[in-house]
Amino acid sequence: MNIKSIRSQFPILEQKIHGKPLVYFDNGATTQKPLSVIQRINDYYARENANIHRGVHTLSQEATTAYENARTMIQNYLGAKENHEILFTKGTTDGINLVAFSFGELLKAEDEIIISAMEHHSNIVPWQMLCERKGCKLRIIPMDEKGDLVLDTYDSLLSNKTKLVAVTHISNALGTVNDVEHIIKKAHAVGAKVLIDGAQSIQHIQVNVQELDCDFYAFSGHKLFGPTGIGVLYGKEEILNLMPPYQGGGDMIKEVTLEKTTYNSLPHKFEAGTPNIAGGIGLGTAFEFLNSLDMKEVVKHEQELLEYATSELEKIEGIKFYGQAKVKTSVISFLIEGLHPYDVGTLLDKMGIAVRTGHHCTQPIMNQFCIPGTIRASFAFYNTKGEIDVFIKALNRIIPMLKN
Ligand SMILES: *Cc1c(COP(=O)(O)O)cnc(C)c1O
């Protein structure tokens, strides 16, 4: 992998922060954007802007084509059967809420939903709200001290009462890659549907929704080198067809009278109102960018970064890692004895290094470890071993400063 040429496509990586070259290790929160995505959005607004699915005029038709081509690009990348199984949303949170509200309408009291102990708040709260509305029960797959899910317990939670299993593919706080193939197979055996929170996956591993056989797959554009405010919910056609619309408005209708409305077909049934057109088109370009990479090389490089950073961090006295799962992506959560993560994060920033500190929207994980939060370094393919050296050197300067 030619990292230098890849880095040259990300203008922000040239930035200086407090006079120091930016070392961006907060890819779990959001990723940087390649020039192609930035230019595509710029071009859209400069030359093509119009509302879609409406006008007969040229610009409207061109904008519609560009937006729908992005949908097809994403369909092909994810290996979805149909283009209308790709629903544009605002992001992962929006996609999960869509399922919780719409699929949730098909559930009744005493039905059960299973999530795990390592979910992002976005994959906890919508289900708690659904359980309050409908009287459903929420069951939790536990996590062990290494950060792996206890799948034997999962198997015993499943029953014919289980209607939906919603789990994350990869943990944003710990990097754990969950055995979603097993989770999906077992859920289907009792007739339950499965939603995968894919917010941390597509940027790190190859994902094929038909091979996984998941029923829903939700993710955000901004975490895979695309714009903010746009994401995708993949859903199997036959299930989406059973589900009522989530929001009412323009574009989602077939015919409206003041008494009654009939709904549009997929995907429009779930896309009420003028969407984030520039975002959708920009997301298509982000997928084109992903397509230009060799995912095997990406995985290899990111694993090297993970191993190198872990072995260098291990040399630091008093360091404790959180999340040492069997299969992990390039996320390292840690604490240094006697130091507050916020202080470490603030001083790292002064040296140009961006890491995340806090609970990472996963308070139940922090509660299980009895800590308020961690320092999290999360790498993307554009990061380098040289940047890790800068990071380790910075930590070695900071630690004595904070201990005195
Ligand atoms: C970031 C993230 C979310 C939420 O994504 P938004 O873009 O904020 O909607 C959900 N789950 C996981 C695992 C995440 O990393």
For residue 221, what are its two tokens? 């554009």
Quick one: which of 374, 323, 358 has its CA closest to 118?
A: 323
Distance CA 170, CA 179 (A): 9
Dihedral sign, Cα of residue 80, residue 85, residue 88, residue 92: negative
Please give the distance, rounded to the nearest whole angstrom, from the Cα atom of residue 14 to the centre of ligand 1: 27
First to last CA, the chain: 43
Question: 3-class SS at 253?
Answer: strand
Q: Token match 């895979």: residue?
A: 224
CA nearest ligand 1 atom 8, residue: 93
For the domain covering 37-291, report its CATH number.
3.40.640.10
Atom in ligand 1 nearest the alpha carbon of residue 228: 7
Q: How many angstroms is it from 220 CA to the middle of ligand 1? A: 7
- Give me the catalytic one of 136, 214, 361, 370: 361
Q: Is 348 in the pocket of ligand 1 (CB under 6 A)?
A: no
Residue 361 annotated as catalytic: yes
C-beta 176 within 6 A of ligand 1? no
Q: Is 264 in the pocket of ligand 1 (CB under 6 A)?
A: no
Q: How many other CB atoms are there within 10 angstroms of residue 403's CB atom?
A: 11
Fold of 3-25+294-399: Aspartate Aminotransferase, domain 1 (3.90.1150)
Core vs surface per residue 337-369: b (16+ CB within 10 A) or e: eebebeebbebbeebbbbbbbbbbbbebbbebb
* Paired tokens of 205: 């591993």
Q: Provide the residue-wise pLDDT of the chain in tens; the chain has 404 residues.
A: 899 999 999 999 999 999 999 999 999 999 999 999 999 999 999 999 999 988 899 999 999 999 999 999 999 999 999 999 999 999 999 999 999 999 999 999 999 999 999 999 999 999 999 999 999 999 999 999 999 999 999 999 999 999 999 999 999 999 999 999 999 999 999 999 999 999 999 999 999 999 999 999 999 999 999 999 999 999 999 999 999 999 999 989 999 999 999 999 999 999 999 999 999 999 999 999 999 999 999 999 999 999 999 999 999 999 999 999 999 999 999 999 999 999 999 999 999 999 999 999 999 999 999 999 999 999 999 999 999 999 999 999 999 999 87
CB neighbours of residue 41 within 10 Å:
19
Residue of 27, 89, 120, 167 to mutate, ligand 1, most atoms within 8 A of C-beta: 120
Distance from Cα 261 to the centre of ligand 1, integer Å: 34
Residue 197 Cβ contacting ligand 1 at under 6 Å: yes
Q: Which residues contact 265 (CB under 8 A, 6 or more apart)?
A: 84, 254
In the reported structure, the alpha carbon of residue 92 is separated from the centroid of ligand 1 by a whole-number distance in angstroms of 5
180 contacts: CB under 8 Å, gap ≥ 6 = 167, 169, 194, 196, 212, 214
Strands 261-263 and 23-24: unpaired
Ligand 1, residue 220: give the atom nearest the CA: 7
Ligand 1 centroid to residue 54 C-alpha, Å = 32
216: left (phi over 0), alpha (psi -120 to 50) or beta: beta
Q: Which of 197, 228, 363 to mutate to test the pocket of ligand 1 (most atoms within 8 A of CB)?
A: 197
Question: Phi and psi for 109 in degrees, rounded to 5?
Answer: -55, 145
Domain boundaries, the chain: 3-25+294-399, 37-291
* Residue to probe by mutation, ligand 1, list 361, 362, 365, most atoms within 8 Å of CB: 361
Q: Cβ of 321: how many Cβ atoms within 10 Å?
A: 16
Atom index in ligand 1 nearest the CA of residue 91 equals 9
User: How remote is the CA of residue 199 from the centroid of ligand 1, in Å?
Assistant: 5
CA dihedral (307, 313, 319, 322) positive or negative: negative
